[in-house]
Amino acid sequence: MGNKFFVSDCEGPISLNDNAFELAGHFIDDGEKFFQIISKYDDILVDEIKRPGYNAGDTLKLILPFLKAYGATNKGMEEFSSKNVLLVPGAMETLGQVNRTMPSFIVSTSYEPYIRALCDLTHFPFDHCYCTRLDLESHSLNEADEFKLKEFHLSIMKDPEFENLERIFWQEIPRMEIGSLFKEVKPVGGEAKKEAVQDIIKQNNFEPQNLIYIGDSITDAEPLRFARENHGLAVSFNGNKYALKESSIAIISDNTLITSIITDLFNQYDSEVVLEFASLFGENPQDTLAKFDVKQELAMELDKTNTRIELITSENLEELINDSSLFRKQIRGESIGGLG
């Protein structure tokens, strides 16, 4: 049967943060609104235009010149990130359990300083993480270009239309010295997340059908599809429409305990058993927990959470998109929960 292995996105299934959104809000003038504009532009490039060579999550590359212009440094990003990690309830215990149970990995679009901070907090091994690496100090920014970037920032805020963003990001900034960030920084999102999963498989001689992947956003669509198409387990945790459309199971919950339970079932049995568990849970949670011999202490703790788990079908997809999208905004906040 081979070794089962666990791969999860970070922000959403493990933590409540959107670190890049929060960094933008901390360093850039009106940065939260600015980030939302760039994030919507990112969604258009990925989901509508499907621009070759552009991956979901490349927002994290596009905002870097602006972070630099408004005073962000490697140290400043590290300090901010280390002080602001906010976990989904239960995540500390879930990460500990799955890491003891099976080979476990985090594949995240998040910047490296944030993932290091989360690993320090949870004692998860950083060498089992894939994330967006960067070094702001290796990219210089002269005074004239700093002023120009701040003008571009004002232009985007006043005119967030597609044509204006196209001009700024693909004509103006690439001509600047700081434009080297676009070439050198490779966000781990979309296709890059799938490639990270494939690298995990190659490096460890795993089989794709032994993968459980947990995701929640547009950056997870590719690895979720990869898991599902290879008969692994593709799980949306408080996911948006992009994640749900590529998943087999939808979890809507305020606690990661259900992740611990299905991961344990997957490790003991296979994806078919977990799919059966998900199909029965909604009808009678207590009977389902007993039927699948879930540990009594876990079943009792799960009863204290607000948890829903369902198989995703063509019939319930739209309902799940609506319910999961509303719930993610409740648990993560309207601004972060509404991002792609």
Same domain, 150 and 223: no
Task: Say if strands 307-311 and 249-253 run parallel, antiparallel, or are unpaired.
Answer: antiparallel
What are the pLDDT digits (tens) for 308-330?
999 999 999 999 999 999 999 99
Same domain, 144 and 124: no
Domain enclosing residue 194, as ranges: 5-15+88-132+189-337
Same domain, 179 and 194: no
The token pair that represents 218 in the structure block: 């547009």
Same domain, 266 and 246: yes
- pLDDT, residue 99, reads 95
Q: What is the mean pLDDT of each run of 10 residues along the chain (340 residues)?
A: 90 97 97 96 93 92 97 96 96 96 97 97 97 95 96 98 97 96 94 97 97 96 97 97 97 98 95 96 93 89 96 97 95 79
Same domain, 315 and 272: yes
Structure letter (DSSP) for residue 284? -
Same domain, 32 and 63: yes
Which residues face 212 on adjacent strands?
Answer: 6, 233
Same domain, 164 and 260: no
- pLDDT, residue 337, reads 73
**Global confidence as pTM:** 0.94
Same domain, 281 and 265: yes
Count of domains for the chain? 2
Sign (positive or negative) of CA dihedral 32, 40, 60, 339: positive
Mean pLDDT, all residues of the chain: 95
**Residue that has been written with the tokens 């089962």 in this structure:** 4
Same domain, 29 and 166: yes
The token pair that represents 115 in the structure block: 């993932």
Residues 217 and 267: beta-carbon distance below 8 Å: no
- Domain harbouring 27, CATH code: 1.10.3870.10
- pLDDT, residue 335, reads 78
Say which residues have a Cβ less than 8 Å from residue 86's Cβ, sequence separation at least 6: 15, 16, 17
Task: Say if strands 104-111 and 129-132 run parallel, antiparallel, or are unpaired.
Answer: parallel
d(CA 229, CA 175): 41
CA dist 271 → 208, 264, 275 (Å): 12, 11, 6
What are the pLDDT digits (tens) for 154-190?
999 999 999 999 999 999 999 999 999 999 999 999 9
Same domain, 178 and 306: no
Q: Pick from 173, 302, 174, 332: which is nearest to 239 by CA?
A: 332
End-of-domain residue from the set 148, 164, 184: 184
The token pair that represents 220 in the structure block: 């997870």
End-of-domain residue from the set 169, 184, 199: 184
Same domain, 169 and 34: yes
The token pair that represents 145 in the structure block: 């270009």
Same domain, 281 and 150: no
d(CA 328, CA 241): 11
- pLDDT, residue 104, reads 98
- Domain harbouring 269, CATH code: 3.40.50.1000
Sign (positive or negative) of CA dihedral 99, 236, 340, 328: negative
In single-letter form, the type of residue at position 78 comes to: E
